[in-house]
Chain A
Amino acid sequence: MVYIESWDEFVDRSLQLFRADPQSSRYVMKYRHCDGKLVLKVTDNRECLKFKTDQAQDAKKMEKLNNIFFTLMVRGPDADISEASSKEQMEQQASKKGRGRRQ
Chain B
Amino acid sequence: MEELVRSRGTSHRSKSSHRRVVEADRVEESWCQAADPFEQAAGQVLLQPDPFLNELTSMFERSTEKGSIWVTLKRSSMKCKATRNKMETSGQPIEYRCLVRATDGKKTISTSLSAKEYQKFQASYATVLKAHMNALKKRERKDRKKTVEPEKKQDSSKSNSSKKRALSTLKPSK
Asked if residues B70 and A30 are in contact (CB atoms below 8 Å), the reply is yes
Once bound together, how far apart are the Cα atoms of A67 and B132, in whole Å?
Answer: 18
Once bound together, how far apart are the Cα atoms of A57 and B134, in whole Å?
Answer: 11
Asked if residues A63 and B129 are in contact (CB atoms below 8 Å), the reply is yes
**B31 at the A/B interface (Cβ < 8 Å)?**
no
Interface centre among A26, A86, A90 (most CB of B within 10 A): A26
Asked if residues B139 and A57 are in contact (CB atoms below 8 Å), the reply is yes
Asked if residues A38 and B74 are in contact (CB atoms below 8 Å), the reply is no
Using Cβ atoms and an 8 Å threshold, which residues of chain A touch B121?
A: 70
**B72 at the A/B interface (Cβ < 8 Å)?**
yes
CB < 8 Å neighbour of A36 from B115, B118, B120, B135: B135
Q: Which of A40-76 contact B (CB under 8 A)?
A: 45, 53-60, 63, 66-67, 69-76
CB < 8 Å neighbour of A73 from B70, B74, B119, B136: B74
Q: Which of B47-71 contact A (CB under 8 A)?
A: 60, 63-71
Closest 5 CB pairs of A and B: A36-B135, A73-B98, A73-B75, A26-B74, A56-B136
Interface residues of B (CB under 8 A from A): 21, 24, 60, 63-75, 96-98, 113-115, 118-123, 125-126, 129-130, 132-139, 173-174
Interface residues of A (CB under 8 A from B): 22-23, 25-38, 45, 53-60, 63, 66-67, 69-76, 86, 89-90, 93
